[in-house]
C-alpha cells in the first residue's frame, strides 16, 4: 500500500517583490511519520518553502506565489483559509529560540491560553506533554516557575519546541533549530525528532549536511530555487543520482 502524503507541494513557484525567484516549479510529496529534510546551499529557497507551508510568506508584501500546497488534500494557499487554524496545525520552530519574558510554564501554555483554554488541569497536562515530547521535562520539572531566560540556549530551543508541541500540531516545521547549540544539546534535539515522528509530520532545514544525513528519512536538495533531487535519505547521502547532489554531499561543491 502506498501511504497518502500528508502534504503535496504541486508546481510551487515563489517570487519576491524585487523579482527574486526563490522557488521555481517545485513539486514534492511529504509523508506523515517521517522526517523530511530540505537542504542545500544558502539562498536555495529552503526557508521560503518552509514558510509557505504555514503561510508565513503572507507576511512579506507582494510575494507572488503560484502552484498548490495541499494539506490532507486541501489547498492551504487558497483564499478563505483560516490562517490561525492552519498555523496551529502546522507549527514552526525557528533557528533563534525566543522565549517570552515569563516563566518556563507560562511559555509552554501561552498559545493554549490565547486560544481560550482556562482549565488548569488541561494546561498542566499539555505543558507536561509538550516538555516531555521536546525532551526537556526532566531538566526543568523543578524549575517550572523560573524565568525562561534562566535556561541554557539548548534548553530554550527545546522550550520553543515544547511551546509548539503543546498546541498539538499535525506538522512541525523546523528551520535550523540547532544552529546555535552545542553538540550535546543538538543530540538531544535530534533524538527528540526521532520520537516526534511517531506522532507528527516533521519537515526540517538542518544546519549541516552531517545533520541532514543523520536525521533524514527523505531529503530534498535545493539549488538556487530549483529542486534538484528528492529521495530517501539513504539514496541521497550514499548514492545520489544527480551530479550536483553528489558534489554537494561529498563536499566538492563550489
Ligand atoms: N523577504 C524577502 N524578500 C526578498 N527576497 C527574499 C526574502 N526572503 C528570502 N529572499 C530571497 O529568496 C531566496 C531564497 O531565500 P531563502 O531564505 O528561502 O533561502 P535558504 O535556502 O533558506 O538560505 P539559507 O541557507 O541562507 O537560510 C534568496 O535569494 C533570498 O535572498
Ligand atoms: Mg534559510
Whole-model pTM: value is 0.93
CA of 118 to the centre of ligand 1 (A): 39
Q: What is the pLDDT of residue 127?
A: 96
List residues near ligand 1 (CB under 6 A).
16, 18, 20, 22, 42-48, 60
Q: Which atom of ligand 1 is nearest to 47's Cα? A: 22
Instruction: State residue 189's pLDDT score.
Output: 85
> Distance (Å, rounded) from C-alpha 58 to C-alpha 141?
37
Which of ligand 1's atoms lies nearest the C-alpha of 51?
Answer: 18
Domain boundaries, the chain: 7-249
The number of the ligand nearest the C-alpha atom of 26 reads: 1
Distance (angstroms) between ligand 2 centre and the Cα of 122 equals 35
Residue nearest to atom 27 of ligand 1 (CA): 42
Task: Give the distance (Å) from ligand 1 centre to CA of residue 139.
Answer: 36
d(CA 250, CA 254) in angstroms, rounded, equals: 11
7-249 under CATH 3.40.50.1820, yes or no: no
What atom of ligand 1 comes closest to residue 40's alpha carbon? 21
Residue with cell 498546541: 167
42-81 exposure pattern, b = at least 16 Cβ within 10 A, e = fewer: eebbbbbbbbbbbbbbeeeeebebebbbbbeeeebbeeee
Question: Please, are residues 21 and 35 in contact by the beta-carbon 8 Å criterion?
Answer: no
Residue of minimum CA distance from atom 11 in ligand 1 = 22
Low-confidence ranges of the chain (pLDDT < 70): 1-2, 254
pLDDT tens-digit profile of 6-20?
999 999 999 998 888
Closest protein CA for atom 6 of ligand 1: 16
Going by alpha carbons, the residue nearest to atom 7 of ligand 1 is 16
Nearest residue (by CA) to ligand 1, atom 9, is 48
Classify burial at 242, counting beta carbons within 10 Å of its beta carbon; exposed 0-12, middle 13-18, buried 19 or more: middle
pLDDT at 2: 67
* Mutational pocket test of ligand 1: of 13, 18, 22, the residue with most ligand atoms within 8 Å of the beta carbon: 22
Amino acid at each position: 500500500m502506498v501511504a497518502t502524503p500528508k502534504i503535496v507541494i504541486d508546481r510551487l513557484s515563489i517570487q519576491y517583490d524585487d523579482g527574486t525567484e526563490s522557488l521555481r516549479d517545485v513539486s514534492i510529496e511529504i509523508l506523515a511519520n517521517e522526517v523530511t529534510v530540505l537542504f542545500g546551499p544558502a539562498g536555495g529557497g529552503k526557508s521560503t518553502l518552509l514558510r509557505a507551508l504555514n503561510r508565513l510568506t503572507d507576511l512579506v508584501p507582494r510575494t507572488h506565489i503560484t502552484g498548490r500546497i495541499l494539506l490532507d488534500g486541501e489547498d492551504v494557499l487558497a483564499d478563505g483559509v483560516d490562517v490561525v487554524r492552519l498555523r496551529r496545525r502546522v507549527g514552526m520552530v525557528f533557528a533563534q529560540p525566543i522565549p517570552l519574558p515569563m516563566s518556563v510554564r507560562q511559555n509552554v501554555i501561552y498559545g493554549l491560553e490565547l486560544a481560550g483554554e482556562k482549565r488548569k488541569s488541561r494546561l498542566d497536562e499539555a505543558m507536561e506533554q509538550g516538555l516531555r515530547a521536546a525532551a526537556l521535562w526532566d531538566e526543568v520539572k523543578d524549575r517550572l516557575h523560573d524565568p525562561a531566560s534562566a535556561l541554557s540556549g539548548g534548553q530554550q530551543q527545546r522550550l520553543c519546541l515544547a511551546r509548539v508541541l503543546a498546541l498539538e500540531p499535525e506538522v512541525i516545521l523546523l528551520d535550523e533549530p540547532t544552529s546555535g547549540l552545542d553538540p550535546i544539546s543538538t543530540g538531544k534535539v535530534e533524538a527528540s525528532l526521532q520520537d516526534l515522528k511517531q506522532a507528527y509530520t516533521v519537515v526540517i532545514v538542518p544546519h549541516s549536511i552531517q545533520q541532514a544525513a543523520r536525521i533524514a528519512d527523505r531529503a530534498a536538495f535545493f539549488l538556487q530555487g530549483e529542486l534538484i533531487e528528492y529521495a530517501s535519505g539513504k539514496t541521497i547521502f550514499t548514492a545520489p543520482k544527480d551530479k550536483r547532489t553528489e558534489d554537494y554531499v561529498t563536499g566538492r561543491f563550489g
